[in-house]
Amino acid sequence: MFGRLFSSAVHLSKAGPCVSLDEARELVPKIPSEHVKPSLDDEYEVIEVLIRPNGSIRAGISIVKHIVSGINLICKSIEPGLGICEARFHADLVCHPHIAQIHNFVAAPQVAIGNEQKHYDQLYMEYCERGTVQKVTRWYHNHDMIIPELFIWNVLESLARALCFMHLGLHTIYPSPYGLQKYHKDPTWNSIIHKDLHPGNVFLTDNPPPGMFDYYSLYPRVILGDFGCSRYFSSIQRTSLSSFEEEAWKDIEALGRVIWSMAFKISVTGLPVRGESLSRKLDERWVYSRALKQVLIACLERNESQLMSADVLLGMVVRKREGPD
C-alpha cells in the first residue's frame, strides 16, 4: 500500500482559482453564535463511522459526503460548546497548504432539561484519504523497510511551514539570493500553539492545496490537523508565566519527535527524554544523512540561550535539504 504510495508522482490540477487570505476567510462559513441550524443531515451523507461517541471530548468521527459537491469530508463531533474554539483556530488558519481546512461548523442546539437525546458541536473538515504519518510509520516497521529520506524531509519542511504560519503569521519563507531572509513576528498576529503535535495528528492526502491551479509532488501533501488542544498564546499568557518562545518551542520539540519516530520507526513513547544524549543515541542506528541528523538534534535539544523558533527551523531545513550533506 504505502510502498506503491511513495513510488509515483502525484499531479493534480483541479483546484479552484487562487485567492488571497483575506478573500479566503470570507469564503469560510461564518462561525454561528445564535439561531444556528441544529443539523446538516440533509446536506451530508455518512459514508463510514470511524469513532463512535463514547462520552469523551472527542465524541465521534465519521467520513461524510457533501451531497451537492460529492466531496468527502471528516465530521468531528465534539461536546457542546467546545467545538467553536477549534473552529476559530481553523478559520484563522484558512488556506494554508499544510493545515487542515474547515468546510463548515454547526453548534449543538439548545435542548430542554431532561431531553435524553445527545447533541454535539460538529466540525466538517478536509478529509485526508492517505491516513496519518503514524500509519505510514507502522507500515514500514511491520515490513522491515526504511522510510525514504525524501519523504521525511517533506514531512519536516511541511510541518515547519505550518508552524511558521501558526506561531508567526508567516505564510511561507524562502531563501533570498543573499541567503535566508530574516523574518520577524507580525505584532498583530494572534499566535496559535498547537500543543498536540504527534504522528497521529499529521495527515496525508493526494488532493491539491487550496487555491492552487496546478499541484505536483513526489509524495502526498502533509497536513497538520486536530486543533482540539490548541491555544492562542494570548490566552496562555493570562494563566501562565511561560514566554512565547517557550510555548512555541514545545511545538518545535514535538515536530522533532515526529521525525525521530519516523527515522527509527517507533512510537512517540519510545522517544528519548529531555537531557539524554541525542547525538550518542543517533549514532547507534542512524541510516540517514548528516544534514537530517543535525536538523533533528536542533529540534530536540534545548538551547537555553536561544530556543529554536519556527522561522529559524524552516530556514535551516531549506538550507540543509539543498546542501551537500
Residue 161 lies in a domain: yes
Residue 281 lies in a domain: yes
How many structural domains are present in the chain?
Answer: 2
pLDDT score of 280: 66
pLDDT score of 55: 57
pLDDT score of 251: 96
pLDDT score of 28: 46
Its domain, for residue 59, covers 21-126
pLDDT score of 178: 37
Q: Indicate the pTM of the whole model.
A: 0.81
pLDDT score of 39: 52
The verdict on 114 and 148 lying in the same domain is no
pLDDT score of 133: 96
Among candidate residues 71, 101, 126, the one where a domain is terminated: 126
The verdict on 106 and 138 lying in the same domain is no
The verdict on 92 and 187 lying in the same domain is no
The verdict on 91 and 167 lying in the same domain is no
pLDDT score of 100: 95
pLDDT score of 13: 27
Residue 8 lies in a domain: no
Residue 5 lies in a domain: no
CATH code of the domain in which 293 resides: 1.10.510.10
pLDDT score of 25: 46
The verdict on 113 and 138 lying in the same domain is no
The verdict on 103 and 135 lying in the same domain is no
Among candidate residues 96, 126, 156, the one where a domain is terminated: 126
CATH code of the domain in which 118 resides: 3.30.200.20
- Low-confidence residues of the chain: pLDDT under 50: 3-21, 23-38, 112-113, 115, 173-182
Residue 218 lies in a domain: yes
The verdict on 169 and 42 lying in the same domain is no
pLDDT score of 166: 94
Residue 10 lies in a domain: no
The verdict on 62 and 199 lying in the same domain is no
The verdict on 75 and 177 lying in the same domain is no
The verdict on 143 and 209 lying in the same domain is yes
Residue 269 lies in a domain: yes
Among candidate residues 90, 110, 126, the one where a domain is terminated: 126
262-320 confidence digits (pLDDT tens): 999 887 655 655 555 566 667 777 899 999 999 999 998 887 777 899 999 999 999 88
The verdict on 316 and 284 lying in the same domain is yes
The verdict on 84 and 180 lying in the same domain is no
Residue 80 lies in a domain: yes
**And the C-alpha cell for 19?**
485567492
